[in-house]
C-alpha cells in the first residue's frame, strides 16, 4: 500500500505547470511557499513516471491549492493538470502511443486505455471497470490510496467545506484519455461519488460517442 503513496514526477509536474499557466511564475511561487514546498523540488522535476514525490509534499500541494483557490479554482486547476498529465505521458511513453495507434473500434480503444490506467494505479480492470454498450457508458470505480482523501478525511474542518465530488485531477485524466483519438470518438466524464464527501469510493461515469459509427477507420479521407 505504501509504495503507491505520493505522486509521480510527471503528475506533480503537470499540476505545477497548470498553476504556472493560470497564475504565472509569481502565483506559482506563492502557492509553493504557502504549501511549504522547497523550490528546488520543482526545478529538479523530471518527466519520469517512475520517480515519485513523497506523500507529505503531495498532500501539502493539494490542500494548499484548495485553501487558496477555493473549490472552483481547485477544480479548474487540477482538471487542467490532469489533461497536461496525459499529454506529457503520451509524449514520454512509447507503450501508450502504440496503444493509442492500434486500429480497433472506439469502445475497444476506451477499454484498452482505461484498463492500462487502472493497472497503472494498482487496481484490476475486471473489478474497477464496467461497460454498458447499450448506454454508451463506462463506470470507473476508484478506491485506491488517495493522496488527498486520506488526509482531508481526518480533518473535520476541511471536510465540511467540501460538498461535491472533488477529484478533479483524476477527472481531467479520464477525460483526456477518452478523447485521445478524436478521429474515432469522444467522451464526457464526471465524478458521481467521492471519498471526500464520505462515499465508499470515487466513482467516475464516462459517456462516449462514436465519430463515424463504430467501424475501424484506417484513414479518414478529406472530403
CA atoms within 13 A on the CB side of 21: 14
Q: Identify which of 128, 87, 82, 137 has the alpha carbon closest to the alpha carbon of residue 107.
A: 137
The grid cell for 182 is 478524436
Q: Minimum distance from CB of 78 to Zn ion (Å)? A: 11
Measured distance between the N- and C-terminal CA atoms of the chain, rounded to whole angstroms? 53
* 180 interacts with Zn ion by CB under 5 A: no
| Cβ–Cβ under 8 Å, residues 128 and 192 | no
Residue 212: strand pairing partners: 214
| Cβ–Cβ under 8 Å, residues 12 and 45 | yes
**Which is closer to Zn ion, CB of 51 or CB of 141?**
141
String of contacts with Zn ion for each residue 186-205, x by CB under 5 A: --------x-------x---
Q: Minimum distance from CB of 49 to Zn ion (Å)? A: 22
Identify the residue among 10, 167, 177, 187 touching Zn ion (CB under 5 A).
167
* 96 interacts with Zn ion by CB under 5 A: no
Q: Which stretch binds Zn ion (CB under 5 A): 9-17, 94-102, 159-167, 171-179?
A: 159-167
CA atoms within 13 A on the CB side of 160: 3
- Which residues between 25 and 64 bind Zn ion (CB under 5 A)? none
Q: Minimum distance from CB of 129 to Zn ion (Å)? A: 17
Q: Minimum distance from CB of 195 to Zn ion (Å)? A: 5
Amino acid at each position: 500500500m505504501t509504495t503507491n503513496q505520493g505522486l509521480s514526477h510527471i503528475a506533480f509536474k503537470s499540476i505545477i505547470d497548470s498553476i504556472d499557466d493560470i497564475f504565472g511564475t509569481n502565483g506559482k511561487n506563492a502557492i509553493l511557499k504557502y504549501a511549504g514546498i522547497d523550490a528546488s523540488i520543482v526545478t529538479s522535476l523530471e518527466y519520469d513516471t517512475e520517480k515519485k514525490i513523497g506523500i507529505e509534499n503531495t498532500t501539502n500541494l493539494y490542500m494548499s491549492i484548495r485553501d487558496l483557490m477555493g473549490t472552483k479554482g481547485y477544480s479548474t486547476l487540477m482538471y487542467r493538470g490532469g489533461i497536461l498529465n496525459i499529454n506529457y505521458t503520451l509524449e514520454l511513453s512509447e507503450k501508450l502511443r502504440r496503444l493509442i495507434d492500434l486500429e480497433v473500434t472506439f469502445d475497444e480503444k476506451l477499454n484498452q486505455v482505461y484498463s492500462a490506467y487502472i493497472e497503472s494505479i494498482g487496481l484490476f480492470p475486471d473489478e474497477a471497470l464496467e461497460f454498458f454498450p447499450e448506454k454508451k457508458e463506462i463506470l470507473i470505480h476508484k478506491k485506491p490510496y488517495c493522496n488527498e482523501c486520506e488526509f482531508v478525511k481526518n480533518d473535520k474542518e476541511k471536510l465540511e467545506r467540501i460538498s461535491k465530488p472533488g477529484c478533479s485531477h483524476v477527472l481531467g485524466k479520464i477525460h483526456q484519455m477518452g478523447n485521445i483519438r478524436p478521429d474515432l470518438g469522444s467522451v464526457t466524464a464526471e465524478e458521481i461519488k467521492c471519498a471526500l464527501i464520505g462515499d465508499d469510493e470515487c466513482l467516475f461515469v464516462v459517456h462516449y460517442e462514436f465519430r463515424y459509427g463504430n467501424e475501424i477507420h484506417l484513414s479518414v479521407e478529406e472530403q
